Copies of this chain bind each other. A is one copy, B any other.
Amino acid sequence: MGDPYRRRKRPRPMIEQPKSQFRQLAEILRRRITDGEWRRGDRLPGEHDLAAQYGLSRHTVNQAVGLLRRDGLVRVERGKGAVVTVLPQQITRAAVARYQRPEREREQARGAFDAEIRRLGMAPHVEYRRVGRATPPAEVAALLGIDTGEQNALIRDRLMWADDVPVQIATTFIPWTIAEGTQLAEQDSGPGGIISRFAELGLAQTRVTERITVRTPSDEEGQFLELDPDQCVYQLVHTGWTADDQPVEVTVHTMPVALWRLDYEWPLD
């Protein structure tokens, strides 16, 4: 069987692979953050200073900082500098639990997000950006089985924070033929969230699917989530189905990968 790595590996040096200077510097800076020397909110020394201190050109330092930005450890604002942004812990999205027994205590929708954030000792905040009739993206229209390019969906678009950190964009689409004139189309979807409203309409969701991909954020997403353009986000597409396999809800969640981890759980027979 052998060791397939061997094929591609050269005789390994005793101590360590020689690495480029900017990667070594990034390693040093990363350690100073994870070790707690620099904490959330602290400003890193200017690139000019770091360059002088380590005997590097500013360009090399800039590359090193770029690695930290990609990993979501620091955020840079023009004219100000690099600030440590890493959270003490990632937020956990327990996908299955958040949709269980919604009638019990508003665990659904806003309630589930609230719990996820409070678990970390942070304050959740949700702001509705838009609730109304709109044209869904083509992929969403296809999922919902409705025509493309028409104003045939209700959109519920919201932004979410943990303390002052923007952590998620969630956009729900519901066929307009279902949502029109119901509480689904109101900003406050009422007790139990939209899941309960669907049930009352005789369109109880009995099955849920989620598809996870990772991509780079759009300009708009990057702006709200305060992401460096090199950071990645989860795109999580959640679809709710009725007993006769009709899709009645599609929600697209956009979350920085640095901030979240996603949990799933199911029984085996």
Closest residue of B by beta carbon distance from A231: B232
* Complex Cα–Cα for A210 and B264 (A): 5
Instruction: Tell me if A257 is interfacial: C-beta within 8 Å of chain B.
Output: yes
A263 at the interface (CB under 8 A from B): yes
Which of B71, B262, B268 lies in contact with A205, CB distance below 8 A? B268
A243 CB, nearest partner CB in chain B, Å: 10
A207 CB–B CB distance under 8 Å? yes
Q: How many residues of A contact B (CB 8 A)?
A: 52
A89 CB within 8 Å of chain B? no
Which residues on A are within 8 Å of B, measured CB to CB? 1, 3-5, 8-9, 17, 23, 70-71, 90, 95-96, 99-101, 127-129, 159, 195, 204-214, 216, 219-220, 223-224, 229-230, 232, 234, 240, 257, 261-269
- Contact pick for A5, options B95, B96, B220, CB 8 Å: B220
Closest chain B CB from A141 CB (angstroms): 19
Q: Which chain B positions have C-beta within 8 A of A266?
A: 96, 207-208, 264, 266
Complex CA–CA separation, A269 to B208 (angstroms): 11
A213→B256 CA distance, assembly (Å): 11
Assembled-state Cα–Cα distance A134/B96 (Å)? 33
